[in-house]
Structure 1
Amino acid sequence: MRLIHTADWHLGQTLHGASREYEHARFLDWLLEQIAEQAADALLIAGDVFDGQNPPIPALAQFYRFLARATLRFPDLDIVVVAGNHDSGSRLEAPSPLLNEMGVRVIGGLPCDGDGGFDPERMVFPLHDRSGAVAARCVAMPYIRMADLPPVEEEEGVDPLIEGVRRLYAAAAEAGRRNLRPGEALILTGHCYMTGASLSELSERKILGGNQHALPVDVFPEDAAYVALGHLHRAQAVGGRETVRYSGSPIPLALDENAYAHQVALVEFASGRMVEHKPLRVPRFVAIHRLPASGKAAAPEAVLEELRQLALDPALPRESWPYLEVSVDLAEPRPALRDEVDAVLAGRPARLLKLTARLTGSGETLAEAAPDIELAALAPEDVFRRLYARSHEGEPSPALLAAFHELVASVQESA
């Protein structure tokens, strides 16, 4: 049985104001081709289908259009979707009566029995191989919220948050085992932040709550053939267990994610265990250029020259124009910097998403710069010079000082 594991699509996301709809559309087209090319029997989406709990209509349309195309083209494909922390679980589950008829299983929140208790049996779904036989049982655990956790008595050395998660997974795994037949694999899902995992600082946050929000890998039972994780955007195994993995996001969701390859995971099972894990690299549909290429901000002249020399393809359609991030060191005020950058890019096929100016002054506050002097004892020019030194190197120019004195005089005259 061959399964494609993916997560963190974040449909509806914008990147510094730029729509990602084109990139997502290209990815979903590519994914359909991979399902065919890899002869996948199942597709597992481990959360954060959407970028927000109230996704825009085009994002909803993209998702449901993909599901319709996938089920029409691959009628035997098992599809399992769980909610992530960005998703509204109830919104994701709302069309389940229709999706179930299409062979798509969606779990937005922890299912409950008639008494309001956790009912893990409703999270267990069979996954079939190409012959139609059941090859695995998937326990589809969505993002666990604080309100989902069972009460745990205070006990020394036991974190009640982690223990609550552990108990939920133990109950879920046991439900999976009860349905398991000889030769079938036990597969779990999760959307969480794990201890020791590598995250993207600009687009991810630690989730669940409390001071110890990172979960240890031993919350997942050792007999799980595979644990399909979502939330972190970098593909990686967790805790030294090759069978516990983040698939990573299919496209960069922040500018600092351009440096590593994005992928989905192709996982193969036989006789109840994982026998192969293979990354399927997702093409980069829109390039990201971060200047300077060294990764460190540089003087404006050097950065502007590097921008002039940047190779750009004039034949690209507008939706494929690369994204740019430009970082500049400012030793002195340069109010026209944005205009200078725009002038270099005028008529060229690129989109400037972010211009960062790093001030190279001392960074000291006024109190730090003059710890033994009362503010009232400082002349206005002294205050101005100290504030200038906080942000910039050297002395303010004569023209800038003249403008400051003109401003002070106008204030004093109007007082």
Structure 2
Amino acid sequence: MTVRFFHTSDWHLGQFFYNHSRDYEHEQFLNWLLEQIQQKQPHALLIAGDIFDVINPASKAQKQLYQFLADAHDRAPHMQTLMIAGNHDSGYRIEQVEPLLEKYQAKAVGVVHKNTQGQLDLDRLLVPIYNEQKNIVAWCLTLPFLRAAEITGINEQTTNSQNAIAYIHQQLIAEANARKQPDQALILMSHAHMQGGETSDSERPIIIGHEEALSTVLFDDVIDYVALGHLHKPQKVGHSHIRYSGSPIPLSFSEINYKHQVLEVSIDPHQEDESRFQIESLVIPRSVQLHRIKGTIAEVLTQLSALASGEIDNIDQREYVEIEYHTDTPPAPNLRQQFEEALAPNRYRLVRISRRYLNTESNDQQQTTIHLDPPTPEKLFQNLWEKQGYGQDEKVMTDFLSLVNEAQKSLEDDASV
């Protein structure tokens, strides 16, 4: 039996982009996705983590998600929506509303639980996917972001993060393989950084202990498709059936050229090799444009003046502009004003300016960037570490990020009380 599903991830509902709300852009994406669901009628929608941008999302961001689930259920009553927590999410929070989710054929897996015998609770992680006739057409192996504090110490095979991750994958895949019938597919959904994946600068590091990226060796050959979340660029990892769907909107200027998409996947377990699945990219229309302008001050002013004109009344719909100007002299005090005046009025939002100094004596280029967004904990620590006269030390940074993850886990525990 063929299973048809959508694969998406990294929505980051509630994100602020240089202090500007992305609510409008997310609303446009969700409306577009509802149209695809109504038209295609998939058996399942898989959301592979980072549903929200922060662990304590604003009520408006939560309303966006739950209103979407209600609307999606209206358009495709048989469709299941399966979600996992990413490193930006509170796993406990997204699981707390389970009775509400059940009304809309939705399920959220936020954390790895133990059962009453103190063993890994595989039942919560293995979710059947049904077709219109209520027959099981696939099993979804749901693996949320695996935090060290939640997965170590389950038994003697989970004494550290590395062997705990391997153990969880082995146990879950073995149980899924034992349950599946020949006409059923196995789909693994995970939020992780896989080795060989291409990153962007908007992704928060998710180092677990000393393990920066996971190997695709974790995925057994019995898995028909791996639906990944965390990396925002749509990409395959090693094999055509192991994929990141990517984020639905550009979450930084480094993602300006990404082809944002939702993947439509069909799997027929009776077929051989790669012929058993079909993957189609559903390209998401970009509702708000981003522009990167580079050059000397004169060149930047010329490029800004050449951008399209015409007012956009709603500020949330205005286009974003980032400027990198090149100079070998200190800038004029009113340079930002010059840039603003070169832009067509009431159409753009100038959110970031960086400066690249041109050293004419050595022909080397040095860049100073003005960041308008708050610094991350790891950036603050790195700056303080280097100011004390210490060089870059990857092990120290890894240990610090582990502490950050533990602190974030503690915040999530407090939020779940």
- Whether the TM-score (by the shorter chain) exceeds 0.5 is yes
CA contact (8 A) 1:153 1:160 kept: no
Equivalent position SS for 1:242: strand
Q: Distance in 2 between matches of 1:84 and 1:363?
A: 48
State the partner residue of 1:89: 91
CA contact (8 A) 1:111 1:118 kept: yes
* Structure 1 residue 146 corresponds to structure 2 residue 148: yes
Given candidates 71, 80, 83, the residue that maps to 2:82 is 80
Q: Distance in 1 between matches of 2:50 and 2:260?
A: 16
Given candidates 88, 103, 106, the residue that maps to 1:104 is 106
State the partner residue of 2:357: 359
State the partner residue of 2:219: 220
State the partner residue of 1:37: 39
Q: Distance in 1 between matches of 2:31 and 2:320?
A: 22
Give per-residue Cα distances to partners, 1:238-258, cap 9 Å, x unaligned: 12x111111100100001101
Identity among equivalent positions (%) equals: 37
Give per-residue Cα distances to partners, 1:227-270, cap 9 Å, x unaligned: 1100000111112x111111100100001101121011100011
* Structure 1 residue 183 corresponds to structure 2 residue 183: yes
Equivalent position SS for 1:171: helix
Alignment of 1:295-374 (within 5 A): 298-314=295-311, 317-334=314-331, 335-345=333-343, 347-361=345-359
Which sections of structure 2, spanning at least 5 residues, go unmatched? 363-417
- After alignment, is 298-307 or 171-180 more displaced? 171-180
State the partner residue of 2:415: none
Give the AA of the match of 2:251: L
Give per-residue Cα distances to partners, 1:20-65, cap 9 Å, x unaligned: 0000001000001111222311101010000000001110110010
Deviation at 1:111, TM superposition (A): 2.2
* Structure 1 residue 24 corresponds to structure 2 residue 26: yes
Deviation at 1:299, TM superposition (A): 1.2
State the partner residue of 1:399: none
Equivalent position SS for 1:360: strand
Q: Distance in 2 between matches of 1:317 and 1:232?
A: 31
- TM-score relative to the length of structure 2: 0.80
Q: Distance in 2 between matches of 1:152 and 1:211?
A: 19
Given candidates 229, 241, 244, the residue that maps to 1:243 is 241
Mark the CA change 1:311 to 1:100 in structure 2 (over 3 Å): closer, same or farther: same
Q: Distance in 1 between matches of 2:208 and 2:48?
A: 20
Give per-residue Cα distances to partners, 1:61-119, cap 9 Å, x unaligned: 10010011111221100111110000000101100122124321110101220144311
Deviation at 1:140, TM superposition (A): 1.1
Deviation at 1:361, TM superposition (A): 4.0
Give the AA of the match of 1:222: D
State the partner residue of 1:373: none
Deviation at 1:144, TM superposition (A): 0.5
Which of these two proteins has the greater Rg computed from alpha carbons? 1
State the partner residue of 1:193: 193
Q: Distance in 1 between matches of 2:237 and 2:156?
A: 28
Q: Distance in 2 between matches of 1:84 and 1:263?
A: 19
CA contact (8 A) 2:308 2:344 kept: no
Mark the CA change 1:82 to 1:304 in structure 2 (over 3 Å): closer, same or farther: same
Give the AA of the match of 2:10: D
CA contact (8 A) 1:326 1:356 kept: yes
Give per-residue Cα distances to partners, 1:338-375, cap 9 Å, x unaligned: 121122236241111111122334899xxxxxxxxxxx
Note the aligned Cα RMSD (angstroms): 2.3
Give per-residue Cα distances to partners, 1:147-172, cap 9 Å, x unaligned: 233459999xxx95333211111111
Equivalent position SS for 1:347: coil
State the partner residue of 2:52: 50
Give the AA of the match of 1:13: Q
Q: Distance in 1 between matches of 2:42 and 2:260?
A: 19
CA contact (8 A) 1:189 1:229 kept: yes
Q: Distance in 2 between matches of 1:277 and 1:206?
A: 29
Q: Distance in 1 between matches of 2:270 and 2:354?
A: 52
CA contact (8 A) 1:268 1:277 kept: yes
* Structure 1 residue 203 corresponds to structure 2 residue 205: no
